[in-house]
Amino acid sequence: MPEHSTNGRNAGSEHHDSEVNPAHIVSVQDFSPETLRSVIAHLEVSTDFDHLVYREAELDAIWTITGYFLTNEPHSNDRDLVRRLHVGVHEAHDFVAASRPEAAAEVLRAFL
Amino acid sequence: MLSREENELLTQTDPGTPAGNFFRRFWLPALMPWELPGPDCPPVRVRLLGEDLVAFRDTGGKVGLVDEACPHRRASMFFGRNEECGLRCVYHGWKFDVEGNCTDMPNEPDEYRFQNRVRITAYPTREYGGIIWTYMGDPDQMPDLPKLEWARVPDSHRYVSKRRQENNYLQAIEGGIDSSHSNFLHASVDAFRLTDEYVERFKNSSNLRAKYHIMDKAPVFTVKKTDYGLIIAVRRNADDDQYYWRLTQFMLPSYTIIPYQKGLSINGHCWVPRDDKTCFVWSVSWNPDGPLSMEDRESIRMESFIHEKVDPVTFLAVRNKGNNYLIDREEQKANSMTGIHGFAAQDQAVQESMGPVADRSRERLGTSDTAIIAARRLLLSEIRASAEGTRPHAAQHSDVYWVRSASLLLKRDVEFDEGAQELLKAEV
């Protein structure tokens, strides 16, 4: 997955699984593997209504960023990959909306 | 984002729709009492949840809310004569009482009258908290009125206004719980730019909101599900080892309370679908401890905050889409972000600009939209459960509405719902 995190930090990406707090919102400033790993780790421990709301917000943000990448980078070599991620994130978003965070995590793992 | 199907499920409230049936499980604000000033006064039209209705106050002072169409030939009851404990259709004289019973059918010969078998759709009403309420659902499941603090204070402690907005109720609710917009839409240019003069003026202010918005421009959002709906908490860094918290409620089906600072008045809203493309915005200011202050009254008169002058028949605001909300571009350059006067008109301008029903399948959300996402998910879940026959917990438990918003400083190791526990209880 292409790196697009040069100007941002990702608070969630430094967490190990044992430290992941599902009540914290992952900082989404890119769609790098670190960001996806952090979102996946949070999906894996999300159980409550509020956790799923935060995960949906994170996936909304990744979907937004990938969508703008596809619009703004017509000649990028990563377009096919990002397009698949964009669709996958939408699918993961719908799994979260259906209270199925584990299915959403599974979808995202395919992009690591 | 929402799918098109989810968006339609949330925004369509006509009879027979899942969201319409959900709203019909709650008591809803319908009229200002002054719309029906006395016994046998002229009837008024009311449109609610896609239904055209007529309200009247009978000879005994009871309020009726009936179908606008006479069941005989569908003529409008708005033209009816309000007389002797009933509303009489002027076309053929059929007359109905506040409960919808046909009490006279003068155009039929005595031996052919069937008035005892005819009814007009009528919904029960109550006068409570400076509002005439109605319940449009199954009569066998009629709940108690919600125990809202603002409805329980004396009339002198409360001000209520009603206005009509030209968009679906949901985008209005979303504006009410979207706390990040107030730093922009309702800000002065100085506050937005954080000019030296502004920072100097507010850095030691007793206005905690202004003070801590200067110190931390990147708040952290938290939402929690409650028995009334949601509590939405926004946290900012404050002095030393403290956080500044602003706590607001979203109460089902469509109430909010603006974060309140102890010692000031409290403000809130209720949004009621008029139909899928318009809604009524009910705005309430109240002081649980005493009559509204001179400052509160002045703010209402000047339309600087949540109340706005409206046409007394249509309830359309004086500042409206047709006149671009009287936007003042010079004022926008020099002083305010919008150039539109008053928070109410500012909210209305942006919410109406999204179209009658916002297309949520095309939006681009970020993590500051968590409260909006939470409210949608909660409503979707409640609407689906209602469609399967589950009565909403909040509708059936009027005590859950006995809450209050808050804004306060807490030590950083204290959870907001523990530290603010007492402040979040209503008192009246």
* Interval B303-329: pLDDT, tens: 999 999 999 999 999 999 999 999 999
CB neighbours of A30 closer than 8 A, spacing ≥ 6? A3, A4, A5, A8, A10, A65
Contacts of A27 in chain B (CB under 8 A): 367
Q: Say whether B366 and A64 touch across the interface (CB within 8 A).
A: yes
Non-local (6+) Cβ contacts of B399 within 8 A are B147
Residue B406 pLDDT greater than 80, yes or no: yes
* Cross-strand pairs, B29: B133
Task: Please state the φ and ψ torsions of residue B155, each to the nearest 5 degrees.
Answer: -55, -35
Number of residues in chain B: 428
Q: Nearest-CA neighbor of B286 among B270, B302, B272? A: B270
Question: Once rounded to an integer, what is the mean pLDDT over residues B25-46?
Answer: 98
Contact between chains at B365 and A57 (C-beta distance less than 8 A): yes
SS3 A70: helix
Encoding tokens for residue B7?
A: 């968006």
Nearest CA in chain B to A61: B366
Kindly state the average pLDDT of the residues A25-30.
94
pLDDT tens for residues B267-286?
Answer: 999 999 999 999 999 999 99
* Digit-coded pLDDT (tens) for B224-234: 999 999 999 99
pLDDT of residue B205: 82
**Which residue type does B295 have?**
E
**Tokens encoding B244:** 């500044």
pLDDT at A98 over 90: yes
pLDDT confidence of residue B213: 80
| Among A10, A49, A53, the residue to mutate for chain B (most B Cβ within 10 A) | A53
Mean pLDDT over each residue of chain B, to the nearest integer: 94
How many other CB atoms are there within 10 angstroms of residue B387's CB atom? Answer: 14
Q: Does the CB of A53 have a partner CB in chain B at under 8 Å?
A: yes
Exposed e or buried b per residue across B97-115, where buried means at least 16 C-beta atoms within 10 angstroms of its C-beta: bbebebbbbeeeeeeeeeb
Determine which of B58-62, B216-220, B360-364, B365-369 has the lowest per-residue pLDDT on average.
B216-220
Neighbours of B358 (CB within 10 A): 19
Write out chain B in H/E/C secondary structure. Answer: CCCHHHHHHHHCCCCCCHHHHHHCCCEEEEECHHHCCCCCCCCEEEEECCEEEEEEECCCCCEEEEECECCCCCCEHHHCEECCCCEECCCCCCEECCCCEEEECCCCCHHHCCHHHCECCEECEEEECCEEEEECCCHHHCCCCCCCHHHHCCHHHEEEEEEEECCCHHHHHHHHHCHHHHHCCCCEHHHHHCCHHHHHHHCCCCCHHHHHHHHCCCCEEEEEECCCEEEEEEEEECCCCEEEEEEEEEECCCEEECCCCCCCCEEEEEEEEEECCEEEEEEEEECCCCCCCHHHHHHHHHCCCCCCCECCCCCEECCCHHHHHHCCHHHHHHCECCCCCCHHHHHHHHHHHCCCCCCCCCCCCCHHHHHHHHHHHHHHHHHHHHHCCCCCHHHHCHHHHCECCEEEEEECCCCHHHHCCCCCECCC
**Cβ–Cβ below 8 Å for A53 and B223:** yes
Give pLDDT, residue A1.
56
- Taking an 8 Å cut-off on Cβ atoms, the answer to whether A57 and B373 are in contact is yes
**How near does any CA of chain A get to the CA of B361, in Å?**
11
Chain B, residues 255-274, CB within 8 A of chain A, namely none
Nearest CA in chain B to A62: B366
pLDDT of residue A3: 42
Q: Which letter, b or e, does each residue of B153-167 get, where b requires 16 or more Cβ atoms within 10 Å of its Cβ?
A: beeebbbbbbbbbbb
Instruction: For residue A89, give the chain B residue with the closest CA.
Output: B1
Among residues of chain A, what percentage have pLDDT more than 70? 84
Residue A97, chain B, CB below 8 Å: the answer is yes
Q: Is A93 an 8 Å CB contact of chain B? A: yes
Partner-chain contact B366 A50, CB within 8 Å = no
pTM for the whole structure: 0.93
Question: Is any Cβ of chain B less than 8 angstroms from the Cβ of A92?
Answer: no
Q: Is the pLDDT assigned to residue A10 strictly greater than 50?
A: no
> Angle, nearest 10°, between helix axes B4-11 and B370-387?
70
Q: Which residues pair with B419 in a beta bridge?
A: none
- Tell me the average pLDDT across A98-110: 98
- The whole-number pLDDT of residue B288 equals 92
Helix A101-109 to helix A79-97 angle (10° resolution) is: 170
Residues 4-43 of chain B whose Cβ lies under 8 A from any Cβ of chain A: 6
Asked if A53 and B365 come within 8 Å (Cβ–Cβ), the reply is no
Please indicate whether, in this complex, the C-beta atoms of B365 and A60 are within 8 angstroms of each other. yes
pLDDT for position B199 = 87
Q: B377 at the A interface (CB within 8 A)? A: yes
- Residue with more model confidence, B97 or B117: B97
Q: Smallest Cβ distance to B1: which of A58, A63, A68?
A: A63
Closest chain A C-alpha to B116 CA, distance in angstroms: 50
Would residue B74 be called left, alpha or beta, if left means φ above 0 and alpha means ψ between -120 and 50 degrees? left
- Alpha-carbon distance of B403 to B317, in angstroms, equals 30
pLDDT at residue number B390 = 97
Q: A67 and chain B: CB distance < 8 Å anywhere?
A: yes
B355: tokens are 């179209």
Q: Mean pLDDT over residues A45-63, rounded? A: 96
Instruction: Kindly state whether A40 is in contact with chain B, defined as any CB-CB distance less than 8 angstroms.
Output: no
Side-chain-facing half-sphere of B378: CA atoms under 13 Å: 30
Can you tell me the distance from the alpha carbon of B85 to that of B44, in angstroms, rounded to the nearest whole number?
Answer: 16
Q: How far is B9 from chain A (nearest CA, A)?
A: 14
Q: Taking the CB of residue B192, how many other CB atoms lie within 10 A of it?
A: 13
Supply the pLDDT for residue B291. 96
Rounded Cα distance, B302 and B296, in Å: 10
For the cut 90, the answer to whether the pLDDT of residue B337 exceeds it is yes
Residue B3 at interface with chain A, using a CB cutoff of 8 Å: yes
**A69 touching B (Cβ < 8 Å):** no
Distance between alpha carbon A58 and the CA centroid of its chain, in Å? 6
Interchain contact, A50 vs B223, CB within 8 Å:
yes
Least confident of A67-76, B196-205, B240-249, B291-300: B196-205
Q: What is the pLDDT of residue A4?
A: 42
Percentage of chain B beyond pLDDT 70 is 100
Question: What counts of helices (H) and strands (E) characterise chain B?
Answer: 13, 19
DSSP assignment of B266-326: EEEEEEEEEETTEEEEEEEEE-TTSSPPHHHHHHHHHT-SS---B-TTT-BBSS-GGGGGG
If you average pLDDT over residues A25-45, what whole number do you get? 96
| E runs forming strands in B154-241 | 158-165, 220-225, 229-237
Q: What is the pLDDT of residues B74-83, one digit of tens each?
A: 999 999 999 9
**Dihedral sign, Cα of residue A34, residue A38, residue A44, residue A49:** negative
B420 CA: distance to closest CA in chain A (Å): 19
| Rounded distance between C-alpha atoms, residue B120 and residue B392, angstroms | 28
Instruction: Find, in chain A, the residue whose alpha carbon is nearest to that of B218.
Output: A27
How many Å lie between the alpha carbon of A112 and the closest alpha carbon of chain B? 22
Least trusted range by pLDDT, from A12-16, B162-166, B185-189: A12-16
B219, closest residue in chain A (CA to CA):
A25
Give the per-residue pLDDT at A18. 57
Which residue in the set B1, B6, B373 is minimally distant from A53, CB to CB?
A: B373
**Chain B closest CA to A77's CA: distance in Å?**
24
Q: What is the pLDDT of residues B251-268, one digit of tens each?
A: 999 999 999 888 889 999
Contact, B1 vs A93, CB < 8 A?
A: yes
Average pLDDT in the B292-302 region? 93
Using CB atoms, which residue from B221, B224, B373 is nearest to A56?
Answer: B373
